Amino acid sequence: MRIPPPLTTADAWLGRDMAQRDDWRRVLIHDEIRELIAARAAARSASPDRVRWTRQDFPLPRLGVEVAAWLEALDTGRGFLLLRGLPVAEIGPEAAADIYWGIGLHMGRAVSQNTDGDLLGHVRDTGADPNAYGVRLYKTRAEQDFHTDGADIIGLLCLQAAKSGGVSRIVSSAAIYNRLLSERPDLVPALFSVFPFDTQGQHKPGSPAWFSRPICRLRDGRLNLFFIPWYIRESQQHPDAPRLTFEKEAVLRFIETTANDPDHFLDMDFQPGDIQFLKNASILHKRTAYEDWDAPELKRHLLRLWLVQETFSAGDEGLREGVKAPV
């Protein structure tokens, strides 16, 4: 294969550099919050069911221009954004969820995040065993190591923060590639090869319990990384799944080690009202383990959106429609 040269796109950043900047934070001002509250009132007058809303039902005459700039920063810029200042404590979690959904309408189209068809997912501890097969770690308090999700844009709204921990940690996929190219160019062909992924029991009856796809592709001059390492390793429990070669195992370890290097990752300690948007093709994300509050109303609670934005570069048609229920 022809090995791509080092990537110089704006999404090839290091966390140690981003930590010294604040242009990736955007604080909502008073007039913008008023516009969002008014848009929510207009949308609810159109329908009490937010899933039925259209972009036109949630009008953002001034903030809509900003949303276009946010999309540009996600697609061709650094690949992430943190909005701060939505007054969750004042307007309440239901209004905050409506406003978050409404912003999402201006950024893309929501798709299902699980086999239950959830379009607005709840990220919180359900008491599920993080070591049990098929349990998605966002339903636990355990650490969730670096990975990607589905769709083009991944959004998180913080309704309630943890007692301690639960830090959102992100890293540039392009920066990881550049380091691999510099330190282990012999592994680059394996990076672009096909890997087996466990289906986590969500396959159709009679079909394999694993599927194959590359973890890395280069499209439109930009990197697209699809990375869920525990799905890859769990595929090895199935005798008919292709065995991981030494080179593929080494690639997985290199990505994990580099992503967890403090020079590479950037931390965001969520506050209530924070909204994080990531370009899934460009950014790996994780969540550190956390300690929760005892009172149910204080427990850590985030809302998640998976959004499709067909105009994005380095998109992946196989991921854009989210998680389908097995038939």
Instruction: Check pLDDT > 60 for residue 91.
Output: yes
CA-closest candidate to residue 39, choices 18, 81, 67, 1: 67
315 vs 309, which has greater pLDDT?
309
Structure tokens at 294: 């005892």
Q: Does 2 score more than 90 pLDDT?
A: no
Segment 40-49 mean pLDDT: 98
Question: Span 169-193, mean pLDDT?
Answer: 98
pLDDT tens across 202-260, in order?
Answer: 888 889 999 999 999 998 889 999 999 999 999 999 999 999 999 999 999 999 999 99
pLDDT at residue 327 tops 70? no
Distance (Å, whole) CA 264 – CA 11: 12
- Between CA 70 and CA 107 the distance in angstroms is 9
CA atoms within 13 A on the CB side of 60: 23
Q: At what angle do helices 63-75 and 30-46 cross, to 10 degrees?
A: 100
From 128, 131, 141, 25, select the one nearest 78 (Cα to Cα).
25
pLDDT for 88: 98
pLDDT per residue as tens digits for the range 262-293: 999 999 999 999 999 999 999 999 999 999 99
pLDDT digits (tens, 9 = 90+) for 154-168: 999 999 999 999 999
Mean pLDDT of 165-188: 98
What pLDDT does 196 receive?
98
Is the confidence at residue 73, as pLDDT, over 70? yes
Residue type, 155: G
What does the pLDDT read at residue 80?
98
Of residues 321 and 120, more confidently modeled: 120
Question: Average pLDDT for residues 98-123, to the nearest whole number?
Answer: 95
Rg of the chain over CA atoms, in angstroms?
20
pLDDT, position 14: 98
Residue 114: its pLDDT value, please? 87
Do 140 and 290 touch, CB atoms closer than 8 A? no
Residue ranges covered by each domain of the chain? 15-308
Q: Look up residue 235 and give its two tokens.
A: 């595929």
Amino acid at residue number 136: R
Q: What is the pLDDT of residues 134-157, one digit of tens each?
A: 888 898 999 999 999 989 999 999
Question: What tokens does 296 get?
Answer: 């149910």
| Residue 138 φ then ψ, to 5° | -70, -10
In this prediction, residues 304-314 reach a mean pLDDT of: 95
Q: Share the mean pLDDT of the chain.
A: 95
Q: Output the pLDDT for position 253.
A: 98
Q: Give the confidence band of 325 by pLDDT, cuts at 50, 70, 90.
A: low
DSSP 193: S
pLDDT score for 326 = 62
Beta bridge partners of 156: 276, 304
Q: pTM value?
A: 0.95
- How far apart are alpha carbons 76 and 200 in whole angstroms? 33
Which of 73, 266, 66, 51 has the alpha carbon at shortest distance from 153? 73
Alpha helix locations (H) across the chain? 15-18, 30-46, 63-75, 88-91, 93-105, 173-183, 188-191, 229-234, 246-259
Average pLDDT over residues 306-310: 95
Check whether domain 15-308 has CATH 3.40.30.10, yes or no: no
Euclidean distance between CA atoms 63 and 40, whole angstroms:
13
